[in-house]
Amino acid sequence: MFHTSLRRLCVLGLVLACLFAPASIAAAQTPDSGGKPREARLLEDFIHYVLVARPELAHSSAQAIVESEIADADLYRIIDEMGVWGRLDDAVVRAMRVAELEDIAGRLQMRINRGRIDMARDPEEIARHIQNLAGTPRGRLMAEEALRAAGEYAVPQLLDVLTGSNPMELKVRCTEVLESIGRQAVTPLSVALPYVEPVTQERLCEILGQINHVHALPALRTLMNDPTAAQAARAAAGRAHQRLGGLADASTVDIWLTLADLYWSEAESLVAWPLEETNNVWYYRSGTGLYAVPVPTHIFAEVMAMRCAEQALRHDANSLPALSLWIASNFRRSDQLGEGEDPTYGPDRRPPLYYAVAAGPAAAQSVLDRANRDLNARLARHAIAALNGTAGGASLWVGGGRPSPLIDSLAFPERRVRYDAALALGRALPMDSFDGSDRVVPILAGAIRTGDERFAAVIADNEEDQRSIASNLRDMGFTVLPPRSSYAGLRGDLAAAPGVDLFLVMTSPDRAGEIVASIQTDLQVSATPVALLTASEDVMNLRRQFDGNRRVAVIRLGLSQDQLTNALQALVSTTTGELITSEEADTYAAEALQVLRDVAVRNSAAYDIKLAETALVEALTNFTGELRLTAAQTLSWVNGSRAQSALLNAALAEPDEAVQVALFEYVAHSAKRFGSYASEAQVAALVNLVKTAIGPVATAAAQAHGALNLPASNMVPLVVSD
């Protein structure tokens, strides 16, 4: 024990000596450049300064490398030629543990990794490795390893060997490499399959069968059923199809749609390089062969879903599932692309809404059904916009003998989707009720009352955290429901709220899963994003726990107000879209008022306008100009004392003569339709105004007096003078 402790003390002394070594000693130990490339000298300096604990000098060397204009692949070659991989890896690991070096060491490591990848994918390197497959055993092993590292990037040249007049031994080696590349080889080989010669088709089918990944099934099934293909190739495709577990009675359309749905679900197994900024979409052109077009990774799944749907439509132009999936994928592709570029979507392509409208209401309803299932608010709004332009009558609320997806959207957790759905159904002005018709008017009334108010709910284990989180949210402009310690405690408050835009949860990691599950299984709020606030040490575990759950963000405690605001805005933006703005709220209120007015005038049996009475009465106070007069006009069609009383009070108190005349006219309309609900105080005020007013106001007030069927004796003093 004593000797062990003494040895540790000696080691510690040596470490401390290195840590505090004078600069002159450190400089003396710096290796001489010896005419090497600048980057080689800088790498040796970085390694040396890390080992002698001179972080400021190590940082300077690493920064010079990171900012160097040398290509990443060339940097990787320099390191390879230097033979310093072991020492460099050790230095980077050590640097990562030093606060001053952590960031720059990470950036250096990224350049090295990119260089390794770029070098492996270099077409000249790939060609050299393919030739080495026919070389010495050691050279062959190194070539195979390099080609596997290149992955799908090696497939075009490996395929060229199979299709060319090359020695059989080299073709066999290339076949083995393609099989060892595995799932990354499936998509490019599947794309090439219809275009190569029959003998190569047979070989590719065997390779795809050996790789045994299901995304080869559609291409194999297509070749199996191709009457123009060689019989031997069709038989090979059938054998591979069976090996992959393909169903004998499945249609080609269904198999392509199954793959399209896998891409729609963003299955990571279908993405060759999920952590990279771009991924490849493969094409085959006569004379060029197999080639790739890189697209941003965040739209790769959508692009591929569209391509699979296009294949299905080639086999059945009347396939509504294929057409609607293509439209849905196109909408989502466009949303996720933002201001970026998609090189696969050529200038001859139209905006997504063009195709949705042209396809008709059945396709739009199908897209909306998918959006409802996925709780995709943006997609739902696109689909409803398409329905607004194409659908009418009962097709809006009935589809296939059951309530349409538009009816389901009335219960969508995101309020803008509910508003859009209610507006579409309200504008249709049906004469007969239907399942869900009782929800339309209350939702439109909510669009008038809520405005741009943003609602948040807080769940935290103790009252201090509840108060602190709620205060932060109020500073961000949220209306915060009463904070609770459990989701069950929030249920009553949620039922009374028009909707919730955000949940902020601060609890122990073992309770987080339970709370998130409670939120996401409640249909009222299932699409609402959830932010989990947690300590730094729990961040990684919670992120792993909710990996793939887009509606959950794990946020480290201790962020500044601005940082927290940015994190929450990013979460909301990627789930339900941006928070509702005042401009949007005003637009929804105006449209809702107009639709409610039309509903009231139509007097449809499908809708009960009285359900909007409270919102319309509030609108007389909260709105001005045309919106206020629209609310007044609508109230004149509501049979009730509250509606008429609000109109009469507004008219009596209005200072603007023109507006006052209009309000009295609506009072008169209400009275003619439903009789008088005026109180004694209102009657007295009206009689006084009739006696004292002059001009148009006097006439309008008198008209209201007559329509309310008030006693004619009220007017006698004006007729019989003293």
Q: What residue segments make up the domains of the chain, in order of their start?
A: 25-121, 358-428, 453-579, 639-719
Q: Which of 314-318, 373-377, 638-642 has the highest mean pLDDT?
A: 314-318
Using alpha carbons only, give the angle 328, 330, 334 rounded to the nearest 5 degrees.
120
pLDDT for 699 equals: 92
Higher pLDDT, 415 or 3: 415
Pairing of strands 278-285, 289-296: antiparallel
CA distance 257 to 249: 15
pLDDT for 9 equals: 32
pLDDT for 4 equals: 37
Query: Which helix (H) or strand (E) is 159 found in, with range?
Result: helix 155-163
CA distance 480 to 22: 59
pLDDT for 12 equals: 32
Give the CA radius of gyration of the chain.
Answer: 36
Report the percent of the chain where pLDDT is more than 90: 50
Question: How many C-beta neighbours within 10 Å does residue 297 have?
Answer: 16
CA torsion sign, 670 to 673 to 674 to 678? Answer: positive
Report the percent of the chain where pLDDT is more than 70: 92
3-state secondary structure of 463: helix
CA 519 to chain centre: 19
pLDDT (mean) for 188-216: 96
Least confident interval from 273-277, 383-387, 557-561? 557-561
The beta-carbon contacts of 67-71 under 8 Å, at least 24 apart in sequence, are: 68/38, 68/39, 68/42, 70/39, 71/115, 71/118
pLDDT beyond 90 at 719: no
pLDDT for 667 equals: 94
CA distance 659 to 638: 20
**Per-residue DSSP letters for 267-321?**
-GGG-S-TTSSEEEEEEEETTTEEEEEEEEHHHHHHHHHHHHHHHHHHH-TT-HH
Q: Which of 369-373, 430-434, 579-583 has the highest mean pLDDT?
A: 369-373
Tens digit of pLDDT for each residue in 216-245? 999 999 999 999 999 999 999 999 999 999
Higher pLDDT, 716 or 575: 575
Contact 556, 539 (CB under 8 A): yes
Closest C-alpha to 552, from 597, 595, 502: 502
Least confident interval from 35-39, 63-67, 375-379, 705-709? 35-39
pLDDT (mean) for 398-416: 81
pLDDT beyond 70 at 401: no
Give me the CATH topology for the region 453-579. Rossmann fold (3.40.50)
What is the number of H-type helices and E-type strands within the chain?
37, 9
- Residue with the two structure tokens 């879209």: 577
Give the bridge partners for 552, in sequence order. 530
Closest C-alpha to 120, from 181, 183, 204: 181
pLDDT beyond 60 at 720: no
pLDDT for 3 equals: 39
pLDDT for 308 equals: 98
pLDDT (mean) for 259-266: 96
Contact 353, 393 (CB under 8 A): no
Higher pLDDT, 717 or 543: 543
Closest C-alpha to 49, from 57, 41, 37, 40: 57
Closest C-alpha to 615, from 441, 437, 418: 441
Tens digit of pLDDT for each residue in 137-171? 888 998 999 899 899 999 999 999 999 999 999 99
Using alpha carbons only, give the angle 566, 570, 572 rounded to the nearest 5 degrees.
120
Contact 297, 271 (CB under 8 A): yes
Contact 55, 101 (CB under 8 A): yes
Question: How many C-beta neighbours within 10 Å does residue 257 have?
Answer: 24
Mean pLDDT, all residues of the chain? 87
Return the HEC string of 230-250. CHHHHHHHHHHHHHCCCCCCC
pLDDT for 714 equals: 63
3-state secondary structure of 35: coil
pLDDT for 638 equals: 93
pLDDT classification of 14: cutoffs 50, 70, 90: very low
Least confident interval from 605-609, 630-634, 646-650? 605-609
The model carries a pTM of: 0.77
Contact 80, 33 (CB under 8 A): no
